[in-house]
Structure 1
Amino acid sequence: MSNTALLERPSTTTSPARPALRLVTDRPAPVAPAAPERHLPAGTTPRGFALYVGFDEIKAAASGVSLGTIVDALRRTLAEVAPAAETYATVAIAAQGTGGRDVDVVRLALHEPSAVARTRAEEEPDDDVATGHVVVDISRKRVVLDGESAALTFKEFELLQYLVLREGRTIERTELVSSLWQTGGVDAPGERTIDVHVRRLRAKLGRYEDIVRTVRGVGYRFDRHADVVINYGHGTPSPDRF
């Protein structure tokens, strides 16, 4: 009987240690569904994913959990299904009373590209961006010095942004390297050569180079300065980790 499961009784010579019944089937083994086709820009490849969770502390408490508990559970699950995967968790913060779906607020607070693109038309035009001698525009990934855009590379902006979002905290060189460069990457600097990247960044900041301060023997720090304006756009990014 094809494609049916049979319960086959053992012969009288069957050892008593064997089970009384044995499941026999000729059904083929299940085949995992094919991965959906991805339409990616030429020359690119997926390197991971981000899961945005809209769930504030009040809702979490009402469910008998905390945000940290949820993160820990997700990490344990990931460790089981993909032990080699690396993780990083950050909490999204927004002004009290911010309207909209929780998950949309989270996506905007963390500057998820498609969420930002959908709300770009609602942003103030470039001429209306908050003015100052130095404008670090997180939402548009640029730095404006005395009204002129600074020619920072992507990595130089990332370096400055990392310090800005951790205002007042001294960041060790090892943390900068591990957070901003792929581990083992060919372009990853050492703990000392990170100083070269900082020097290049400072050179492009010109007379405002001291907004990136050196803490001798430790690393670097960004301190708020009267001449500096930080434009976060929609939401306020948070560097807090679980």
Structure 2
Amino acid sequence: MSKTKENGSLYTDIQNKIATIAFGHPSSNCFPSELLDRLSKEFISLGNNPEVLIIVLKSEGEKAFCAGASFDELVAISNLEEGALFFSGFANVINAMRTCGKLIIGRVQGKAVGGGVGLVAACDYVLASEHAAIKLSELTIGIGPFVIEPAVSRKIGVAEMAALTMDATDWKSAYWAKEKGLYAKVFDSIHDLDNEVSIFTAKLASYNPAALAEMKKVFWRGTEEWNALLSERTAISGKLVLSEFTKTALLKFKK
């Protein structure tokens, strides 16, 4: 699979009722808006595909899992409409994962930042390598992880979400993430990680499809208002990104 496309790549392979979505981008597997839109639609499509029971979400390469949303697009935002569109990308993906009728297993081989942490949190079960550290650095540029907060807090709790948000310059290790509930298991190598993903998903795919679908509903009970909630969070972020503080903080990143 190639990451040469400017807007990244997204491929899905279906084998034995297991759909594996692999995304990639040359900039540490970040997500331009177009790629986020494609991912949202893919989750919706697979959720409606009777030939799929389990979905695996992974990224390309052996380094970063996901660097979040495209920084180039963030820097280019010039008005509220553009801001809302930019931040709705991860909101739409999280809601698509939430309402997808299939269990989603995250395979996290490397570091996740910002929206990448939100993707991990929106998975139903996550297997990771010991290199899969996480960080929420949004406060350093004058915004915050408002859109992904509900998904992350749901997994690790409000107190740990607060610590992760305020420790905006520090990486939390994969073992920290496991201790807090974001990861289910952590492996010493990518080889061991992939072996477990294969074994675990094959086992899940052998279970009663109706039971799997009902468990998905149970796992996400209480999130029915997230369409409205994440829309509100999108508006907050879209406004903050236009603040003088953030404009000044982003100046050093402009090309």
TM-score range, shorter chain: under 0.3
- Judging by fraction of residues, say which structure has more helix: 2
Normalised by the length of structure 2, the TM-score is 0.23
